Amino acid sequence: MPTSFARRPRRPALDQDPHRVRDAGGRNLEAAIGREVRSLRRQQGLTVAELARASGLSLGMLSKIENGATSPSLTTLQALGHALSTPVTAFFRSFEERREAHHVRAGDHVEIERRGTRAGHQYHLLGHVGSNGSGVVVEPYLITLTAESDRFPTFQHEGLELLYMLEGEVDYRHGDRIYPLKPGDSLLFDADARHGPETLVKLPARYLSVIAYPQG
């Protein structure tokens, strides 16, 4: 008798390859210049077509520059600098800037008071990188809840948040839904909705909270 197997759900395709490594030079420089041109253009509220006209470049050439698909000459960069009222050196900023990392040893994390923190919620900041080229701020926390912790959800802020349960059990509210979280469970959500621990099922409870939001 033939055995039937349930079809496995297809995994969602992701745009970014987490194992991709950029070339040490070459296209890496072109990509950095393209990111700066696009960033400066958007900061000034210009469309690609408007910047192309102001700089005397073709629409296709400017698109290639912003996508890092071509190596612009100094003359071209001067034309872009003039149109954007910025020095040519500004286009190399993200290529030359230092990439930061923050190492926190066990026991060295900083206990902080986050805005809106309720009584008994222990927040340990696990690392912090300031202004960076990604345009995103990421705040990783280790949160501990005990019998003294306030159980009512009142948190609401911009960005996305990821929870990963390490110890204990918590019924966690997001909007009008409740999610039971046990060790190994995760929850990714839009943090603009009201969220927080609704019921502390098994204490102590510890979970990682990673918040990401646009850099101001």
Encode pLDDT of 63-98 as tens digits.
Answer: 999 998 898 998 999 999 999 999 988 888 767 555
What SS3 state is found at 7?
coil
- Residue 31: band (very low, low, confident or very high) from pLDDT cuts 50, 70, 90: confident
Q: How high does pLDDT run on average in the chain?
A: 80
Reported as a single tens digit per residue, the pLDDT across 129-171 is 766 666 788 889 999 988 876 656 568 889 999 999 999 999 9
Q: Which residue has the higher pLDDT, 134 or 214?
A: 214
**What's CA 147's distance to the chain center, in Å?**
33
pTM: 0.56
Q: Which of 32-36, 53-57, 201-205 has the lowest mean pLDDT?
A: 32-36
pLDDT value at 193 more than 60: yes
Q: Taking the CB of residue 118, how many other CB atoms lie within 10 A of it?
A: 16
By C-alpha distance, which of 154, 62, 167, 73 is closest to 114?
154
**What's CA 23's distance to the chain center, in Å?**
23
pLDDT over 90, % of the chain: 45
Cα torsion 195, 196, 201, 206 to 10°: value is: 130
Which distant-in-sequence residues (6+ apart) come within 8 Å of 34 by Cβ? 65, 66, 67, 68, 69
pLDDT over 70, % of the chain: 69
By C-alpha distance, which of 145, 190, 183, 186 is closest to 166?
183
pLDDT, position 25: 44
pLDDT, position 54: 95
The pLDDT of 89-112, averaged and rounded, is 67
pLDDT, position 148: 74
The pLDDT of 48-72, averaged and rounded, is 93
How far apart, in whole angstroms, are the C-alpha atoms of residue 207 and residue 186? 9
